[in-house]
A and B are shown apart, each in its own frame.
Chain A
Amino acid sequence: MDRPAPFAVRVQAAPFDTAAEIAALSGDGDVGAVVTFCGLCRADRSTEGAPLSALILEHYPGMAEAEMDRLIDDARGRWPLTGARIVHRFGRIVPGEPIVLVVTASAHRAAAFSAAEFLMDWLKTKAPFWKKEERGAVGDWVAAKVEDDTAAARWTGR
């Protein structure tokens, strides 16, 4: 069987198999650490009115993949990674379902932890995805958060 590509990005409507993605980056003895981050759709009952019933994710096909590839290239220039994968879903996603998966692998855990956080921080501000919240019959586009720009910006001084 062919070894799966250790560096890869995917945009898909279907849910993903986290265990399969980890297995794909586990190597054959050279990998000491695999870090995963999974972002989920949250019901968000904190605001007045109807709770969130779903998120509708829109993306820019082609550019979404290209941006995520560029982020992985950037991460590889900063840490000695043996693999990195980003899987991002689009379409209608209900609370409790996964939206995004970042998996990073390295010989040691520090690089894998840092690279996973770096990829998520930049994904939020650079990858062309947009969320619309569905609350009952109302749909509203999610506004970008200043905190996301701040989180991404802290990597630029390195």
Chain B
Amino acid sequence: MRVLYFAWLRERIGRAEEEIEPPPEVATVGDLAHWLAGRDAAYAHAFSDPKLVRAALDKRHVKPDALLAGAREIAFFPPMTGG
């Protein structure tokens, strides 16, 4: 699946998007954040405070317990500050 990162998550990870193939035990959005955080120090830094990480599946806001099954695109980003 395609993963997008925005704002300081993008800066900490050092890329705006990538294709990933998580193992089958990664079932939810929260699982995926935890799996990504285990990749290296940059990802660990980006996902270090779960309270400051929001997610969207196929361009809709979701909670960490949302299932990934069937989604093509996931985005991780900090709380929004537009307007």
Contact = CB atoms under 8 A, between A and B. Distances in A.
Contacts of B8: 141
A64 B65 CA distance: 23
A142 B81 CA distance: 7
B82 interface: yes
A143 B81 contact: yes
A88 B80 CA distance: 14
A129 B75 contact: no
B78 interface: yes
Interface string B51-83: 000001001110000000000000101111111
A155 interface: no
A126 interface: yes
Interface string A114-142: 00000010011111111110000000011
A112 interface: no
Contact of B82 (A62, A66, A131, A143): A131
